[in-house]
Amino acid sequence: MLIESYNLEIEVADHSAEVFEYEAIAHLPVDIREALPYLNATFKNGTYFTDGPVFSWRLDDHKVGFWHDRIAADHLDTREQAKEVIDHLVKLVNDVWARRSEIEPDTVTHENLQPLELYRLLPKTNCKVCGENTCFNFALKLAAGMVEFQQCGPILGDAKYGDQLKQLESLIVLKRPLL
């Protein structure tokens, strides 16, 4: 296991009448910089920067950063949630590190996918086959790497969407090959 322990720091990030948010930082006793290209290869729509290096990613509503000596997440409602999210992120790093022999590390800074650009290519029927209520919700999740475009039944199954399918493939698959 790469990360066996960490020191958790939780701070109030935003405090007003309407908002009370925490951010959390796990200070690591080990250097995880070698794991960052494996995270970049595994988690779609994250961004790897060689300066740092740092891998920036999004988990649900949380902006997440992985540095060689720490992991940070924001937009946390409670201290308990902060601990849960950090535990989850540490587990993700450990899982990816354990599978590193099966993963081609990636040190390229990929352009982020834009939800509107993806939405433009979807059928816009809101048929819900993918499990989302609308094509736009699907596009949001697609951009965040939370779903695969293959979950859209019409785009795969109807020849009239053939051109859109090719464009989606070139946007998603060629830029960031699926594992």
Q: Could you say whether residue 144 binds ligand SF4 (CB under 6 A)? A: no
**CB–CB of 32/66 below 8 Å?**
yes
E strand or H helix that includes residue 26? strand 20-27
E strand or H helix that includes residue 73? strand 70-76
Q: Could you say whether residue 115 binds ligand SF4 (CB under 6 A)? A: no
CB atoms within 10 A of CB 78: 12
* Beta carbon of residue 170, minimum distance to ligand SF4 (angstroms, whole number): 18
What one-letter code names the amino acid at 9? E
Stretch that binds ligand SF4, among 1-9, 22-30, 65-73, 150-158 (CB under 6 A): 150-158
Q: Could you say whether residue 59 binds ligand SF4 (CB under 6 A)? A: no
Residue (85 or 130) nearer to ligand SF4, CB: 130
* Beta carbon of residue 153, minimum distance to ligand SF4 (angstroms, whole number): 5
Binder to ligand SF4 among 130, 143, 144, 168 (CB under 6 A)? 130
Q: Could you say whether residue 43 binds ligand SF4 (CB under 6 A)? A: no
Q: Could you say whether residue 153 binds ligand SF4 (CB under 6 A)? A: yes
Edge-to-edge order in the sheet of strand 7-15: 7-15, 20-27, 70-76, 62-66, 54-59, 47-49
Neighbouring-strand partners of residue 8: 26
Binding site for ligand SF4 (CB under 6 A): 122-123, 125-130, 132, 135, 138, 152-155
